[in-house]
Structure 1
Protein backbone atom coordinates (compact mmCIF):
# COMPACT_ATOMS: atom_id res chain seq x y z
CA UNK A 1 0.00 0.00 0.00
CA UNK A 2 0.99 3.59 -0.46
CA UNK A 3 2.79 4.68 2.71
CA UNK A 4 4.13 1.21 3.62
CA UNK A 5 7.61 2.68 4.08
CA UNK A 6 6.52 5.79 5.97
CA UNK A 7 7.61 4.02 9.18
CA UNK A 8 11.23 4.53 8.08
CA UNK A 9 11.05 8.31 7.59
CA UNK A 10 13.57 9.95 9.91
CA UNK A 11 17.08 9.30 11.17
CA UNK A 12 18.15 5.86 12.38
CA UNK A 13 21.20 4.32 14.03
CA UNK A 14 21.78 1.00 12.31
CA UNK A 15 23.65 -2.02 13.73
CA UNK A 16 24.90 -4.18 10.83
CA UNK A 17 25.95 -7.83 10.75
CA UNK A 18 27.24 -9.10 7.41
CA UNK A 19 28.79 -12.41 6.39
CA UNK A 20 32.39 -11.89 5.35
CA UNK A 21 31.98 -14.53 2.60
CA UNK A 22 28.65 -15.14 0.89
CA UNK A 23 27.54 -18.50 -0.51
CA UNK A 24 30.65 -20.11 0.90
CA UNK A 25 29.27 -21.85 4.00
CA UNK A 26 30.82 -19.13 6.15
CA UNK A 27 29.68 -18.30 9.66
CA UNK A 28 32.15 -15.43 10.05
CA UNK A 29 30.22 -12.20 10.58
CA UNK A 30 31.51 -8.64 10.65
CA UNK A 31 29.68 -5.98 12.64
CA UNK A 32 29.68 -2.26 11.91
CA UNK A 33 27.55 0.83 12.56
CA UNK A 34 25.64 3.02 10.14
CA UNK A 35 23.32 6.01 10.09
CA UNK A 36 20.30 6.08 7.78
CA UNK A 37 18.26 9.16 6.86
CA UNK A 38 14.97 8.46 5.07
CA UNK A 39 12.35 10.63 3.41
CA UNK A 40 9.00 9.98 1.80
CA UNK A 41 7.86 11.51 -1.49
CA UNK A 42 4.90 11.30 -3.91
CA UNK A 43 2.52 11.29 -0.91
CA UNK A 44 3.97 7.99 0.36
CA UNK A 45 4.25 6.25 -3.03
CA UNK A 46 8.01 6.79 -2.92
CA UNK A 47 10.69 6.52 -0.26
CA UNK A 48 14.40 7.30 -0.28
CA UNK A 49 17.10 6.66 2.28
CA UNK A 50 20.80 7.35 2.35
CA UNK A 51 22.87 5.18 4.67
CA UNK A 52 26.41 6.01 5.74
CA UNK A 53 28.81 3.32 6.99
CA UNK A 54 31.50 5.46 8.70
CA UNK A 55 33.87 2.61 9.60
CA UNK A 56 33.52 0.88 6.21
CA UNK A 57 34.34 3.86 3.99
CA UNK A 58 31.22 3.82 1.81
CA UNK A 59 27.60 4.89 1.73
CA UNK A 60 24.51 3.65 -0.03
CA UNK A 61 21.03 4.69 -1.05
CA UNK A 62 17.73 2.94 -1.64
CA UNK A 63 14.89 4.26 -3.78
CA UNK A 64 11.53 2.56 -3.18
CA UNK A 65 8.64 3.08 -5.61
CA UNK A 66 5.06 1.85 -5.31
CA UNK A 67 3.08 0.81 -8.39
CA UNK A 68 -0.64 1.25 -7.61
CA UNK A 69 -1.63 -0.90 -10.61
CA UNK A 70 0.17 -4.00 -9.25
CA UNK A 71 0.26 -2.94 -5.58
CA UNK A 72 3.95 -3.88 -5.56
CA UNK A 73 7.01 -2.00 -4.39
CA UNK A 74 10.24 -1.94 -6.42
CA UNK A 75 13.40 -1.32 -4.38
CA UNK A 76 16.55 -0.05 -6.08
CA UNK A 77 19.94 0.03 -4.30
CA UNK A 78 23.13 1.88 -5.19
CA UNK A 79 26.31 2.68 -3.31
CA UNK A 80 29.30 4.98 -3.47
CA UNK A 81 31.28 1.93 -4.63
CA UNK A 82 29.04 1.66 -7.73
CA UNK A 83 27.58 5.18 -7.87
CA UNK A 84 26.18 5.04 -11.38
CA UNK A 85 24.43 1.69 -11.04
CA UNK A 86 21.11 1.14 -9.33
CA UNK A 87 20.59 -2.43 -8.21
CA UNK A 88 19.30 -3.97 -11.37
CA UNK A 89 16.95 -5.70 -11.31
CA UNK A 90 15.10 -4.21 -8.34
CA UNK A 91 13.72 -6.44 -5.63
CA UNK A 92 9.93 -6.40 -5.91
CA UNK A 93 7.24 -7.28 -3.38
CA UNK A 94 4.83 -6.11 -0.71
CA UNK A 95 4.00 -6.08 2.99
CA UNK A 96 1.68 -8.77 4.38
CA UNK A 97 0.76 -8.79 8.07
CA UNK A 98 3.54 -6.32 8.92
CA UNK A 99 6.34 -8.17 7.10
CA UNK A 100 7.67 -6.92 3.78
CA UNK A 101 9.26 -9.43 1.40
CA UNK A 102 10.91 -8.38 -1.86
CA UNK A 103 12.54 -10.69 -4.42
CA UNK A 104 14.67 -10.59 -7.58
CA UNK A 105 16.55 -13.05 -9.76
CA UNK A 106 20.17 -11.97 -10.06
CA UNK A 107 23.73 -13.33 -10.09
CA UNK A 108 26.46 -13.29 -7.45
CA UNK A 109 30.03 -13.99 -8.56
CA UNK A 110 28.58 -15.50 -11.74
CA UNK A 111 26.17 -17.80 -9.86
CA UNK A 112 22.41 -17.40 -10.56
CA UNK A 113 20.63 -16.50 -7.33
CA UNK A 114 17.33 -15.30 -5.97
CA UNK A 115 17.68 -12.29 -3.68
CA UNK A 116 15.27 -11.62 -0.81
CA UNK A 117 14.98 -8.45 1.26
CA UNK A 118 12.79 -8.79 4.34
CA UNK A 119 11.53 -5.99 6.62
CA UNK A 120 10.07 -7.12 9.96
CA UNK A 121 9.77 -6.30 13.67
CA UNK A 122 8.65 -2.78 12.78
CA UNK A 123 7.67 -0.41 15.56
CA UNK A 124 7.74 3.36 16.08
CA UNK A 125 11.38 3.12 17.18
CA UNK A 126 12.79 -0.09 15.65
CA UNK A 127 12.95 -1.97 12.37
CA UNK A 128 14.71 -5.15 11.24
CA UNK A 129 15.98 -5.74 7.69
CA UNK A 130 17.79 -8.72 6.25
CA UNK A 131 19.12 -9.83 2.91
CA UNK A 132 19.29 -13.48 1.89
CA UNK A 133 20.44 -15.37 -1.21
CA UNK A 134 19.12 -18.64 -2.59
CA UNK A 135 20.85 -20.79 -5.20
CA UNK A 136 17.88 -23.20 -5.45
CA UNK A 137 15.07 -20.79 -6.39
CA UNK A 138 13.98 -20.22 -2.81
CA UNK A 139 13.99 -23.73 -1.35
CA UNK A 140 16.81 -22.72 1.03
CA UNK A 141 18.18 -19.31 1.98
CA UNK A 142 21.47 -17.94 3.27
CA UNK A 143 20.89 -14.77 5.27
CA UNK A 144 24.02 -12.71 4.68
CA UNK A 145 23.28 -9.17 5.88
CA UNK A 146 21.19 -8.04 8.86
CA UNK A 147 20.41 -4.47 9.88
CA UNK A 148 18.69 -3.53 13.13
CA UNK A 149 17.58 0.10 13.07
CA UNK A 150 16.81 2.26 16.11
CA UNK A 151 15.16 5.63 15.57
CA UNK A 152 17.09 8.64 16.83
CA UNK A 153 15.16 11.00 19.04
CA UNK A 154 14.23 14.31 17.38
CA UNK A 155 16.42 17.22 18.37
Structure 2
Protein backbone atom coordinates (compact mmCIF):
# COMPACT_ATOMS: atom_id res chain seq x y z
CA UNK A 1 0.00 0.00 0.00
CA UNK A 2 1.19 3.45 -0.84
CA UNK A 3 0.95 6.36 1.56
CA UNK A 4 -1.73 8.98 1.00
CA UNK A 5 -0.17 12.26 -0.16
CA UNK A 6 -0.22 14.89 2.60
CA UNK A 7 -2.49 17.22 0.62
CA UNK A 8 -5.13 14.45 0.38
CA UNK A 9 -5.06 13.22 3.98
CA UNK A 10 -8.31 14.10 5.70
CA UNK A 11 -9.83 15.40 2.46
CA UNK A 12 -10.30 12.51 0.05
CA UNK A 13 -12.55 10.61 2.42
CA UNK A 14 -14.98 13.54 2.05
CA UNK A 15 -15.05 13.44 -1.77
CA UNK A 16 -18.62 12.10 -1.92
CA UNK A 17 -20.06 14.51 0.67
CA UNK A 18 -21.75 16.43 -2.18
CA UNK A 19 -23.95 13.38 -2.75
CA UNK A 20 -25.39 12.84 0.73
CA UNK A 21 -29.14 13.36 0.90
CA UNK A 22 -32.27 12.59 -1.11
CA UNK A 23 -32.38 12.96 -4.87
CA UNK A 24 -34.74 12.78 -7.82
CA UNK A 25 -32.79 11.11 -10.62
CA UNK A 26 -33.57 11.96 -14.25
CA UNK A 27 -31.99 9.26 -16.39
CA UNK A 28 -31.38 8.74 -20.10
CA UNK A 29 -29.95 5.40 -21.20
CA UNK A 30 -29.54 3.61 -24.46
CA UNK A 31 -32.31 1.06 -24.86
CA UNK A 32 -29.63 -1.60 -25.51
CA UNK A 33 -26.32 -0.56 -23.95
CA UNK A 34 -24.62 -3.60 -25.49
CA UNK A 35 -25.56 -2.74 -29.09
CA UNK A 36 -22.94 -0.35 -30.52
CA UNK A 37 -25.39 0.70 -33.25
CA UNK A 38 -28.24 1.52 -30.86
CA UNK A 39 -29.30 5.18 -30.95
CA UNK A 40 -32.66 4.79 -29.19
CA UNK A 41 -32.55 6.47 -25.77
CA UNK A 42 -35.15 5.84 -23.07
CA UNK A 43 -35.82 8.13 -20.13
CA UNK A 44 -37.07 7.46 -16.62
CA UNK A 45 -37.09 9.03 -13.17
CA UNK A 46 -35.98 7.47 -9.91
CA UNK A 47 -35.57 8.40 -6.26
CA UNK A 48 -32.35 7.88 -4.34
CA UNK A 49 -31.11 8.41 -0.80
CA UNK A 50 -27.42 8.48 0.09
CA UNK A 51 -26.26 8.30 3.70
CA UNK A 52 -22.70 8.65 4.95
CA UNK A 53 -20.90 5.77 6.65
CA UNK A 54 -17.58 5.38 8.46
CA UNK A 55 -17.26 9.09 9.22
CA UNK A 56 -17.49 10.06 5.55
CA UNK A 57 -15.06 7.40 4.32
CA UNK A 58 -18.02 5.60 2.82
CA UNK A 59 -21.66 5.89 1.91
CA UNK A 60 -24.62 3.72 1.04
CA UNK A 61 -27.16 4.57 -1.64
CA UNK A 62 -30.62 3.04 -2.00
CA UNK A 63 -32.40 3.76 -5.27
CA UNK A 64 -35.90 2.98 -6.52
CA UNK A 65 -35.82 3.04 -10.31
CA UNK A 66 -39.05 3.79 -12.18
CA UNK A 67 -38.18 1.40 -14.99
CA UNK A 68 -40.39 -1.26 -16.51
CA UNK A 69 -40.36 -3.45 -14.54
CA UNK A 70 -39.43 -1.34 -11.50
CA UNK A 71 -36.03 -2.05 -9.96
CA UNK A 72 -34.20 -1.38 -6.74
CA UNK A 73 -30.48 -0.77 -6.46
CA UNK A 74 -27.88 -0.58 -3.71
CA UNK A 75 -24.56 1.20 -4.15
CA UNK A 76 -21.76 0.98 -1.58
CA UNK A 77 -18.80 3.38 -1.78
CA UNK A 78 -15.72 3.01 0.43
CA UNK A 79 -12.54 5.06 0.56
CA UNK A 80 -9.20 3.28 0.97
CA UNK A 81 -6.80 5.85 2.45
CA UNK A 82 -3.79 3.56 2.03
CA UNK A 83 -4.38 3.32 -1.71
CA UNK A 84 -5.91 6.83 -1.97
CA UNK A 85 -8.84 5.56 -3.99
CA UNK A 86 -12.53 4.88 -3.79
CA UNK A 87 -14.11 1.51 -4.52
CA UNK A 88 -17.74 1.42 -5.64
CA UNK A 89 -19.98 -1.67 -5.74
CA UNK A 90 -23.42 -1.74 -7.40
CA UNK A 91 -26.15 -4.33 -6.88
CA UNK A 92 -29.69 -4.38 -8.25
CA UNK A 93 -32.81 -6.46 -8.56
CA UNK A 94 -32.04 -6.60 -12.30
CA UNK A 95 -29.42 -9.24 -11.44
CA UNK A 96 -30.31 -10.53 -7.95
CA UNK A 97 -27.46 -12.20 -6.12
CA UNK A 98 -24.78 -10.72 -8.40
CA UNK A 99 -22.20 -8.26 -7.12
CA UNK A 100 -19.91 -7.17 -9.91
CA UNK A 101 -16.34 -6.03 -9.54
CA UNK A 102 -15.74 -2.73 -7.79
CA UNK A 103 -15.10 0.39 -9.80
CA UNK A 104 -11.93 2.05 -8.56
CA UNK A 105 -10.96 5.67 -8.88
CA UNK A 106 -10.65 9.10 -7.38
CA UNK A 107 -11.56 12.75 -7.78
CA UNK A 108 -9.30 15.22 -9.57
CA UNK A 109 -9.86 18.55 -11.28
CA UNK A 110 -13.57 18.68 -10.37
CA UNK A 111 -14.36 15.22 -11.73
CA UNK A 112 -14.62 11.75 -10.22
CA UNK A 113 -13.56 8.91 -12.52
CA UNK A 114 -14.03 5.24 -11.63
CA UNK A 115 -13.19 2.26 -13.83
CA UNK A 116 -13.41 -1.52 -13.70
CA UNK A 117 -12.91 -4.41 -16.07
CA UNK A 118 -16.00 -6.53 -16.54
CA UNK A 119 -17.51 -9.07 -18.89
CA UNK A 120 -20.04 -7.18 -20.98
CA UNK A 121 -22.26 -9.20 -23.30
CA UNK A 122 -19.73 -12.03 -23.39
CA UNK A 123 -16.80 -9.68 -24.12
CA UNK A 124 -14.21 -8.33 -21.72
CA UNK A 125 -14.42 -4.55 -21.58
CA UNK A 126 -13.92 -1.52 -19.38
CA UNK A 127 -16.73 0.27 -17.59
CA UNK A 128 -16.18 3.91 -16.66
CA UNK A 129 -18.34 5.97 -14.34
CA UNK A 130 -17.78 9.71 -14.08
CA UNK A 131 -19.15 12.33 -11.71
CA UNK A 132 -19.22 15.95 -12.89
CA UNK A 133 -20.86 19.23 -11.82
CA UNK A 134 -19.85 18.41 -8.24
CA UNK A 135 -20.21 21.94 -6.86
CA UNK A 136 -23.51 22.86 -8.54
CA UNK A 137 -25.94 21.10 -6.18
CA UNK A 138 -27.06 19.09 -9.24
CA UNK A 139 -24.36 16.49 -9.93
CA UNK A 140 -24.24 14.40 -13.09
CA UNK A 141 -23.25 10.73 -13.41
CA UNK A 142 -22.34 9.00 -16.66
CA UNK A 143 -21.52 5.44 -17.65
CA UNK A 144 -19.46 4.51 -20.71
CA UNK A 145 -18.02 1.27 -22.11
CA UNK A 146 -14.72 0.69 -23.89
CA UNK A 147 -13.74 -2.43 -25.80
CA UNK A 148 -10.35 -1.13 -26.95
CA UNK A 149 -8.52 -0.77 -23.64
CA UNK A 150 -9.78 2.75 -22.94
CA UNK A 151 -8.75 4.32 -26.25
CA UNK A 152 -12.39 5.21 -26.97
CA UNK A 153 -15.53 5.32 -24.83
CA UNK A 154 -19.21 5.08 -25.72
CA UNK A 155 -21.52 6.79 -23.23
CA UNK A 156 -24.68 4.77 -22.69
CA UNK A 157 -26.22 6.02 -19.43
CA UNK A 158 -26.55 9.57 -18.03
CA UNK A 159 -28.22 10.59 -14.76
CA UNK A 160 -28.91 14.15 -13.63
CA UNK A 161 -29.45 14.58 -9.86
CA UNK A 162 -31.97 17.06 -8.46
CA UNK A 163 -32.22 17.52 -4.68
CA UNK A 164 -35.44 16.48 -2.96
CA UNK A 165 -36.69 18.50 0.00
CA UNK A 166 -36.28 17.15 3.50
TM range (shorter): over 0.9
Q: 1:16 aligns with which of 27, 37, 44?
A: 27
Cα distance in 1 for partners of 2:67, 2:104 equals: 30
- Equivalent residue number for residue 66 of structure 1: 79
TM-score for the superposition, normalised by structure 1: 0.94
- Equivalent residue number for residue 86 of structure 1: 99
For these two proteins, the number of residue pairs brought into alignment is: 153
- Equivalent residue number for residue 48 of structure 2: 36
TM-score for the superposition, normalised by structure 2: 0.88
Cα distance in 2 for partners of 1:15, 1:141 equals: 22
- Equivalent residue number for residue 8 of structure 2: none
Cα distance in 2 for partners of 1:48, 1:83 equals: 18
1:6 and 2:24 equivalent?
no
Structure having the higher Rg:
2
Q: Report the Cα offset of residue 124 of structure 1.
A: 5.2
Please, which runs of 5 or more residues in structure 2 have no aligned partner? 1-11
Alignment of structure 1 residues 101-112 onto 2, 5 Å: 101-112=113-124
Deviations, residues 48-102 of structure 1 (Å, cap 9, x unaligned): 1011113431111110010010110000000012232222x11100000220000
Cα distance in 2 for partners of 1:84, 1:103 equals: 22
More strand by share: 1
- Equivalent residue number for residue 95 of structure 1: 107
Q: 1:48 aligns with which of 51, 60, 70?
A: 60
